[in-house]
Amino acid sequence: MRIEIHGHQIDVTPALRDYVETKMERLARHFERPCELRVQLGLEKPQHKAEATVIISGRSLHADALAVDMYAAIDLLADKIDRLLVKQKSKMVDHHRGESPARSESFG
């Protein structure tokens, strides 16, 4: 997983960069293929905002989170992206390959 981290009206410190990378590493378990993640951290007074865009096999998923502090916003963002990836993965499963009377011996 390739992660790009940008700051908007905020300096991205090494501590923030490490925190984002550790939180977003768990997202790689959902897909075997490489994916790209763009994270933008910003300040919308009085709240902190974290936005992320995940690009997986031609699809783009976007989420954002607002919180009182940047670390809390990153936590919320990681949870939202995780839910989006689980939902996307379930959509990719072929539901037509399940149980069917035509595929079993009881047909006829």
Summarize pLDDT for 43-63 with one digit per residue, the tens.
988 999 999 999 887 789 999
| Domain 2-91 belongs in CATH node 3.30.160.100 | yes
Pairing of strands 47-56, 2-8: unpaired
Query: Model's pTM, two decimal places?
Result: 0.80
Domain boundaries, the chain: 2-91
CA 48/CA 42 separation, integer angstroms: 6
pLDDT of residue 45: 86
The mean pLDDT of 57-77, rounded to a whole number, is: 92
Give 4's strand partners: 38
Residue 79 pLDDT exceeds 90:
yes
Higher pLDDT, 11 or 101: 11
